Amino acid sequence: MMGAKRRRLIGNILAYAAMFLIVALSVLPVVWTFLISIKPDEEVITATLTYLPKRPVWDNYVSIWTRSGFPQLILNSAVTTAVTVAICTTTGTLAAYAVARTRFAGRQKVLLLYLAVRMFPAVMIVIPLFIVLRNVGLLDSRLGLALAYTSFLLPVFIWMMKGFFDAIPPELEEAARIDGASRLTAMLRVILPLVLGGLVATSVFVAIGAWNEYLFALMLTSSSGSRTWPVGLQLMVGEFQLPWGALAAGGMISIAPVVILFAIVQRALVRGLTAGAVKG
């Protein structure tokens, strides 16, 4: 019979081996793409595959950046993302504060609405949204696309922020009110500073969602003045037979902000994403 200590040791070794495999599976495809992005063309298209680049170069990054309006695509995505985040943080923070920290008739119904809206199918919304945006003249505009993004990002924002507001002790507003602060002051000066970390993390989550989005952008934008990078990059692949190295470099440039932002706020972000789930 094996001792408990020995069994635990073997269990831990197996756990490390399995974890290593899963981490490799998650990370290696991205590493591989990075390697392709720093290989010169003749090392990508070869008879026998070379794994590590013999002569790393940044040519692909220069080539994609100077090609047919890639900076414009990035700019459009940045503007659309910024507008989406601005809309969500203003309207969403107010709504999350209301449902988390006040009790009013109809609260359950409002909560249910925010939850139900999360379950609406994207395809169901994007088709009529095309017509609606066209009718109000916002089709093929960055503002119109940002408004479309709030359809699925605002409900998520409200639910995550509600979790952060819920975590603050309920007596704080009362204490501020006894000191003579108005409800507005209590909200802005007392509570809001306490959820600032959560607000930043939630905003980053919404920003990543808007930055990455493909289907709505494909449907709702068509000109170079509003087209975002996922649509533009996909177009380059389809229409101009973008070389591999340049495609990989374009992908690396586009995910850089996502990876950096995520790395900065990951602790609070993971807390926000899972808080709602655990409570059910």
Partner 1 sequence: MGLGTLSERRGWVWFLLVPSLLLIAAVVLYPTLWGMSLSFREMRLNRPDLGTGFVGLKHYMALWNDPVFWLSLRNTLVWVVGATIGEFLLGLATALLLNRGLPGFRAASVLILLPWFLPNVVAGHIWALMLDPRLGVINDILVRIGVLDSYFAWFADPDTALGAAMVVEIWHGFPFFALLLLAGLKAVPNELYESAEIDGAGPFARFRHVILPQLQMIIVASVVLRVISLVNAPDIILILTGGGPGRASQVLSLYAFLKVSKEFNFGYGSALAMVLFVGLMGFSYLYVRLSNVLRQ
Contacts to partner 1 from residues 133-192, by CB under 8 A: 147-148, 150-151, 154-155, 158, 182-185, 187
Choice between 62 and 259, CB closer to partner 1: 259
Residue 8: name the closest of 203, 234, 16 by CA: 16
E strand or H helix at 159, and its extent? helix 142-166
Residues 96 to 115: which contact partner 1 by CB under 8 A?
97-99, 102, 104, 110, 113-114
Choice between 35 and 57, CB closer to partner 1: 35
Residue choice 1, 3, 5, 22 for contact with partner 1 (CB under 8 A): 22
Per rule CB under 8 A, is residue 2 in the interface with partner 1? no
**Cα–Cα distance between 184 and 18 in angstroms, integer?**
52
Per rule CB under 8 A, is residue 128 in the interface with partner 1? yes
Kindly indicate which of the ranges 67-75, 78-86, 192-200, 253-261 contains the residues binding partner 1, using the contact rule CB under 8 A.
Answer: 253-261
**Min CB(2)–partner 1 separation in Å:** 14
**Cα–Cα distance between 152 and 158 in angstroms, integer?**
11
Which residue type occupies 162? K
Residue choice 73, 76, 92, 198 for contact with partner 1 (CB under 8 A): 92
Residues 196 to 215: which contact partner 1 by CB under 8 A?
208, 211-215
**37 within 8 A of 244, measured Cβ to Cβ:** no
Choice between 65 and 244, CB closer to partner 1: 244
3-state DSSP percent of the chain in helix, strand and coil, to 5: 80, 0, 20
Tracing tokens 């635990």 back to the chain, one arrives at: 8
**Min CB(237)–partner 1 separation in Å:** 7
**Cα–Cα distance between 140 and 227 in angstroms, integer?**
8
Give exposure, 71-82, as e/b (b: 16+ Cβ within 10 Å).
eebbebbbbbbe
**Min CB(58)–partner 1 separation in Å:** 19
Residues 28 to 57: which contact partner 1 by CB under 8 A?
29-30, 32-33, 36, 44-46, 49, 51
**249 within 8 A of 64, measured Cβ to Cβ:** yes
Structure tokens at 151: 């359809």
Choice between 57 and 130, CB closer to partner 1: 130
